[in-house]
Chains A and B, each alone.
Chain A
Amino acid sequence: DTGVSQDPRHKITKRGQNVTFRCDPISEHNRLYWYRQTLGQGPEFLTYFQNEAQLEKSRLLSDRFSAERPKGSFSTLEIQRTEQGDSAMYLCASSSWDDNEQFFGPGTRLTVL
């Protein structure tokens, strides 16, 4: 296993379009996290899953955002009707249920024009 992978690495879209990102966690990890990082800031928590259950969502996750992890493996993060303020790096991380260590993927850089 080569770690957490994310796809695409870069996405440029026009305001109002929908975008979807994918995250594949480390295979034996059952916890999966989404964070958002804007330029010059630390990552901010968005949501997390334990297996297929979404257990917590941040207030940052407006109703335009939705995340799924249908089979407890990969996860998708969809942003509907994108706004320029959505431009950021979207990071995925995974961990074991009994371990705090979170391992991050390379991120998806979203630019909304």
Chain B
Amino acid sequence: QQQVKQSPQSLIVQKGGISIINCAYENTAFDYFPWYQQFPGKGPALLIAIRPDVSEKKEGRFTISFNKSAKQFSLHIMDSQPGDSATYFCAASGTWGNKLVFGAGTILRVKS
């Protein structure tokens, strides 16, 4: 029940295209859903996050779509750039100390 399942494992997108990464969760007590970006040898960097009271949140080229009934959420990267090439992690947390449960990650490669 604590798992967050992420897909795809890897993704190749052309420059200017849309990158879409999906996550699903089981535990309905989760109430905070962030996305992190990680470059090799670096710590994860918070990109954008959403709570279940909204269905979509947009910040620049990054959009989270959230479907509470399906217990799914996704990250859309519009106008993908080579500099977006990184590993992306979805995560979830509840009210029990806010520890994050992470997905397994998606390796994104944007081809120029």
Contact = CB atoms under 8 A, between A and B. Distances in A.
Interface of A: 4, 31, 33, 35, 40-45, 48, 50, 55-56, 91, 93, 95, 100-107, 109
B46 interface: yes
B29 to A, nearest CB: 13
B23 to A, nearest CB: 11
B41 to A, nearest CB: 8
Nearest to A46: B99
Contacts of A56: 96-97, 99
8 contacts: A31-B97, A35-B100, A40-B104, A42-B91, A56-B96, A104-B36, A104-B43, A106-B41
A100 B49 contact: yes
- Which 5 pairs from chain A and chain B are nearest by CB? A42-B102, A104-B43, A100-B32, A45-B99, A106-B43
A48 B97 contact: yes
Question: A interface, by DSSP: helix, strand, loop or mixed?
Answer: strand
Contacts of A31: 97-98
B25 interface: no
Given A35-B100, A102-B46, A107-B43, 12 more contacts: A42-B6, A42-B89, A43-B89, A43-B100, A45-B100, A91-B43, A91-B44, A95-B98, A101-B34, A104-B46, A105-B43, A107-B42
Interface in B32-83: 32, 34, 36, 41-46, 49
B98 A100 contact: yes
A107 to B, nearest CB: 5
Nearest to A58: B99
Nearest to A50: B97
